[in-house]
């Protein structure tokens, strides 16, 4: 089944309150992004169980951390993730970073096996270059349906976007608010003031309006959660997009 993700999705790194997750689901979020390294899969799972929305309507994604990428650890740690999440399947399982125990020939077949057994629906990768993605594609039987990478107005790897469009996978944009740096930028501030919206909404509208990209802003308050969802429906003009495209790159938050 093809991976279909909504325009605005939820990053959960740092969320420690299950009710924040439950509220997010109840106001409309359908794709939740967690990871073993965030140590909050139990919180996300508890939030899912508290929300009055059927499991089948949700896309739950988690990531295997770099030190658990030996084949036996992929299986063990994924089973532990499922336990913490209280689920019998995750919809999307990522290789979190291609470092440490990552050995493509050994790691990736373990993902195929989990998929063949129905423990995961889709295989994703995160922080992969195009060359690393191509190598992984050749080894895996499963299609890679997403590459999750840092993307915001101050950091854009357009080669990854072009490649994602050609290949047909989704580019999931992490830290889409540059962890709050969007609020200090005069270009985003100018567009926000002209439209009477926030800099966060400008950044999310810019990302969500880019074909092939879906942002996963992390938010915990209801106000932020709602404002970010609204941003998915805001269409920037070509001129506004060009102003944002013209913002100089400042480099990555995450190396």
Ligand X SMILES: NC(=O)c1ccc[n+]([C@@H]2O[C@H](COP(=O)([O-])OP(=O)(O)OC[C@H]3O[C@@H](n4cnc5c(N)ncnc54)[C@H](OP(=O)(O)O)[C@@H]3O)[C@@H](O)[C@H]2O)c1
* Range list of β-strands (E), the chain: 10-11, 31-33, 59-64, 90-95, 120-126, 144-150, 170-174, 213-215
**Complex with ligand X: residue 82 or 177, whichever CB lies closer:** 177
Where does this chain bind ligand X (CB under 6 A)?
Answer: 11-13, 33, 126-127, 148, 174-180, 198, 200, 216-221, 224, 227-228, 254
| 3-class secondary-structure state, position 120 | strand
CB atoms within 10 A of CB 245: 13
**Complex with ligand X: residue 180 or 233, whichever CB lies closer:** 180
- The conformational region for residue 3 under phi > 0 = left, psi -120 to 50 = alpha, else beta, is beta
Instruction: For tokens 């962890």, name the residue.
Output: 179
Provide, rounded to whole angstroms, the least separation between the CB of residue 129 and ligand X.
14
**Complex with ligand X: residue 142 or 201, whichever CB lies closer:** 201
CA distance 78 to 176: 27
Provide, rounded to whole angstroms, the least separation between the CB of residue 223 and ligand X.
7
Q: What are the beta bridge partners of residue 96?
A: none
Contact 114, 75 (CB under 8 A): yes
Provide, rounded to whole angstroms, the least separation between the CB of residue 23 and ligand X.
12
Contact 145, 124 (CB under 8 A): yes
Cβ neighbours for 127, distance < 8 A, ≥ 6 positions apart: 96, 97, 98, 148, 149, 150, 254
Q: Which residues of 89-128 are buried (b: 16+ CB within 10 A; e: fewer)?
A: ebbbbbbbbbeebbebeebbbbbebbbeeebbbbbbbbbb
**Complex with ligand X: residue 220 or 238, whichever CB lies closer:** 220
Identify whether 155 is a catalytic site residue.
no
Provide, rounded to whole angstroms, the least separation between the CB of residue 192 and ligand X.
11
Closest alpha carbon to 63 in 44, 38, 84: 38
Please identify which of the residues 38, 102, 155, 174 carries the catalytic annotation: 38
Provide, rounded to whole angstroms, the least separation between the CB of residue 156 and ligand X.
14
**Complex with ligand X: residue 20 or 119, whichever CB lies closer:** 20
- Active-site residue numbers? 38
């Amino acid at each position: 089944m093809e991976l279909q993700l909504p325009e605005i999705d939820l990053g959960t790194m740092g969320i420690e309150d299950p009710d924040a997750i439950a509220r997010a689901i109840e106001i409309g979020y359908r794709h939740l992004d967690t990871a073993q390294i965030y140590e909050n899969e139990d919180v996300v799972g508890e939030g899912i169980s508290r929300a009055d929305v059927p499991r089948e309507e949700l896309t739950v994604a988690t990531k295997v951390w770099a030190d658990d990428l030996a084949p036996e650890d992929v299986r063990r740690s994924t089973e532990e993730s499922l336990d913490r999440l209280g689920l019998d399947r995750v919809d999307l399982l990522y290789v979190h970073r291609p470092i440490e125990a990552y050995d493509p020939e050994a790691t990736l077949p373990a993902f195929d096996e989990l998929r063949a057994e129905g423990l995961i629906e889709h295989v994703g990768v995160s922080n992969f270059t195009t060359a690393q993605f191509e190598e992984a594609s050749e080894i895996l039987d499963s299609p890679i349906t997403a590459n999750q990478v840092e993307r915001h107005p101050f950091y854009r790897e357009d080669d990854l976007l072009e490649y994602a469009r050609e290949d047909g996978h989704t580019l999931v944009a992490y830290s889409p608010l540059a962890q709050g740096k969007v609020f200090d930028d005069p270009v985003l501030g100018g567009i926000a003031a002209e439209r009477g919206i926030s800099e966060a909404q400008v950044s999310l509208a810019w990302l969500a309006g880019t074909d092939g990209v879906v942002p996963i802003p992390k938010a915990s308050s209801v106000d932020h959660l709602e404002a970010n969802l609204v941003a998915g429906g805001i269409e920037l003009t070509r001129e506004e997009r060009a102003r944002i495209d013209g913002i100089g790159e400042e480099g990555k938050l995450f190396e």
